[in-house]
Chains A and B, each alone.
Chain A
Amino acid sequence: MNSGYPKWAPYVLVAPFVTVFAVFMAYPMLYSAVMAMQQTYGAKASQFVFLQNFEYLLSDPFFWKAVRNTFVFAAGSVLIQLPLSLGLAMLLNQPQVRGRVIFRLIFFSPALVGTVFIAMMFGLMFNKQGLVNFTLHGLFSGFDPVYPWLEQFVMGSLIIASLWQYVGFNMIYFLAALQNVSRDLSEAAMVDGAGPFARFRNVTIPAIRPVASFVVLLSLIGSFQLFELAWVLLNNSGGPNDQGLTVVMYLYQNGFISFDLGYASAIGWALAILLMGFALVQHRVSTIGEN
C-alpha cells in the first residue's frame, strides 16, 4: 500500500461515484421498500396500505402468469443458450481453425444491436410471410408456410430471438476461459489414453468452472429482467392472451401505465427476492464438488 499522499486524496477520487451511488442507487433501493407499502397515483398522490400490495400480489393471476413466463424464458436462456455458446467456443478453440478473429467478430456482432432493434428485425423475421416461415417451409414441406409465431408460439419466439442475440456474446467468455485451459494438461491426458469426453469432464470443465458460473449468473440476471424484447416484439403489450407477459413488463404496466408506483415497487421486490434466491442456489450448485 502506498503512503505519502494527502489524507483527502482517496475521498476526492471516490466522491463523484459515491454521491451518485448513495442518491440514485442505495437510497432508492431502501425507499422502494417504503413505496411498496403505498398505493400511489403517479408521483403526486400516495396512501399508506402496509402489506396490502404483497397480499394482493400473491393472489394476482397476472403476476403468476408473468412469473411462469419469466421462468420459461430464463430456463430456455440458460439450458439452450449456454450449451450452444460453450459448443461454439470449443469449435472455435480448435487449434487448426483459421480466421478465428473473423468468426469471433461475426458471432459477437448481434450483441451490439440493441434489444429494441432486434425486436424490430425479428418482427419481420417472424412475420407470416417472413424469413423464418419461408426457410422452414422450404426445408420441411409439411411446415405451415404462414405459421403465426407471435400468436401461437410466443415464448418460443422470444427464446429464439434472444438466442440470436446472446449466443455469441456468451461465447466470448467461454472462449477466453478455454484459452486458459492448459494445453499440456490436455495433451498429458490424451497420452494417458483419456478419450475426448473424459478430457472434457476432467480437464476442461474444472478449468472453465469459475467463468461458467459467472456466465450463468449473468444470464439469469439478464433473463429474469426480460422486458424490451417481449414488449416491442408484441406491439407494446403482453401479446395475445398475455402469453408474453413478463415480471418486469407487469411492473412497467402497473407503475408507468396505470401509475401505481407502489404496486410496481412491490413487484420489484418480488423480482429481487426471486433473483437473489436463484443466485444463492446457483452459487451452491456451482461450488458443489469444488475442493
Chain B
Amino acid sequence: MASTPKKKMKPGTVVMYVVLYTALIFCALVTLVPFAYLFCASLKPSAIFFDNLFLPTGDGLFGIGWEKMNFDHYKRLFSEEGFLRPILNSTFYASVTGVLATLFAATSGYALAKFQFRGRDGITKLVLAALVVPGALLFAPVYQMLYWFGMLDSYTGLIIPALAPAFGVYLFRQATVNSVPNEMLESARIDGCGEIMIFFTFVLPLIRPMMGAFLLLTFLGCWNNFIGAQIVLQTPEKMPLAVAINQLRGVYGTDYGLIMAGTVVSIVPVLALFLLLQKEFLSGLTAGAVKG
C-alpha cells in the first residue's frame, strides 16, 4: 500500500472538530425535525393520529406500518375543501405584486442613484423614514381609504397599497450606485438611446441579482401575508392560502392530519422556489445591510 504522508491531527484539533460538528448537526436537526414531523402528520389517518409520534408502527419495512398511511388528507383537501382556489389566488396575488413592486422599486432606485432632480433628497429621506413606520399604523386609515375608493374585498385593494416598497427603493438605490457605471449611461445617450430603452436594455441586466432577490422577497411576503388579506378581503372564495388554512382550522379544529396536509401544500412551493434561487436571494438580502 502506497502510504501518502498524512498530517497527524493534534488531539486538540480533533476535539474541536467533534464539538463543532456536534453543535452544527444538533442545530440542523432541531431545524429539520419539525418539517419531518409535519410531513409525517399529514399522512396519518385521523383515527390513529396520536398513536405514534412520527410514523405508525407496524410489520412493514423498518418496523413501520406503511399500509396504515395514505394521501387521503390531500385528496380531501382538494376534492372537498376546494384548496386549489386559494393556491391560485395566492399565486396570482404574489406574482403580480412581486413583479410590479420590483419594477417600481428598481426604476425609483435607479432615478435616485443616477439623476439630479428637484425633490430627490426629499424622496430619499422619506424612503428611509418609512422603514421605521410600523405597518400596523396604516391598517385603519388604509381600510378607510379602500372603502372610499370602493376597493374593499378585491385584489386591487390588496395589491395597489403594496406597490410602495420603501425598503426596495433603498436596496435598488444601493445596487445601482454599486454596479451601474455612469460612462455607460452617457455613451448610450450619445448613441441616441431613449431613457426607457436605456433602463430596460442597459441598467436592468446589471442589477439583475437584486431584481431576483427582491422579487423573491416580495413574492414570499405576499404568499405568507395573512393580516392584509384578512382585513381587505371578505368573500371566502377570494382568500389566499394563509387565510384559507386558518379558516380550515376554524372548521376542523383538531383534525390535525388535514390541517398539516394544507400546511405542507402551502410551504412546499416556496421552499422549492427558494432552493432554485437561493444563491441570488441570500446575497441580495445581505447586500443592503453590509454595504449600506
Contacts and interface: CB of A to CB of B under 8 A. Distances in A.
B117 A17 contact: no
A91 B246 contact: no
B132 A279 contact: yes
A176 B38 CA distance: 31
A11 interface: yes
Contact of B199 (A13, A25, A106): A13
A3 B183 CA distance: 11
A124 B137 contact: no
Nearest to B51: A129
Contacts of B144: 31, 35, 43, 261
Nearest to A138: B53
Interface size class of B (residues with CB under 8 A): 35 or more
Contact of A131 (B28, B37, B223, B266): B37
B137 A32 contact: yes
A268 interface: yes
Interface string B211-252: 000000000100111110011000000000011011001100
A78 to B, nearest CB: 16
Interface stretch (B55-63, B64-72, B75-83, B255-263): B255-263
B169 A236 contact: no
A250 to B, nearest CB: 10
A272 interface: yes
Interface in A228-268: 228, 232, 235-236, 247-248, 251-252, 255-256, 261-262, 264-265, 268
B152 to A, nearest CB: 8
A113 interface: yes
Given A21-B164, A172-B282, A10 B37 contact: no
B88 interface: no
B143 A255 contact: yes
Interface SS, A side: helix
Interface string A164-203: 1000100011001100100000000000000000000000
A63 interface: no
A115 B134 contact: no
Interface in A1-53: 1-7, 9-14, 16-18, 20-21, 23-29, 31-32, 35, 43-44
Nearest to A218: B289
B174 interface: no
A129 B50 contact: yes
Nearest to B112: A14
Contacts of A248: 134, 136
Given A96-B17, A108-B282, A131-B34, A2 B110 contact: no
Interface string A185-229: 000000000000000000000000001001101000100110110
A148 interface: no
Nearest to A265: B140
Nearest to B17: A96
Contact of A18 (B34, B103, B108): B108
A217 to B, nearest CB: 8
Interface in B125-174: 126, 130, 132-145, 147-148, 152, 160-161, 163-166, 169
Interface string B107-118: 110111011110
A131 B195 contact: no
A134 B27 CA distance: 19
A114 interface: yes
Given A14-B111, A109-B31, A129-B50, A114 B141 contact: no
Contacts of A29: 133, 137-138, 141
Contacts of A1: 114-116, 182
Which of A29, A88, A122 neighbours the largest number of chain B CB atoms within 10 Å of its CB? A29
Interface string A70-97: 0000000000000000001001101011
Given A114-B224, A180-B290, A265-B137, 12 more contacts: A12-B196, A17-B163, A18-B108, A20-B163, A25-B130, A25-B138, A29-B133, A91-B23, A114-B220, A125-B34, A214-B289, A251-B139
Interface of B: 17, 20, 23-24, 27-28, 30-35, 37-38, 41, 50, 53, 103-105, 107-108, 110-112, 114-117, 120, 123, 126, 130, 132-145, 147-148, 152, 160-161, 163-166, 169, 182, 185-186, 189-190, 195-196, 199, 220, 223-227, 230-231, 242-243, 245-246, 249-250, 256, 259-260, 262-263, 266-267, 270-271, 274-275, 278, 282, 285-286, 289-290
CB-based closest 9 A-B pairs: A114-B224, A43-B147, A28-B141, A10-B115, A13-B111, A268-B137, A176-B286, A21-B164, A24-B161
25 contacts: A1-B116, A20-B160, A21-B166, A24-B145, A25-B138, A28-B142, A29-B137, A31-B141, A32-B138, A43-B144, A108-B282, A110-B31, A117-B267, A124-B38, A124-B260, A129-B50, A131-B33, A211-B289, A211-B290, A221-B134, A251-B136, A264-B139, A265-B137, A271-B134, A272-B137
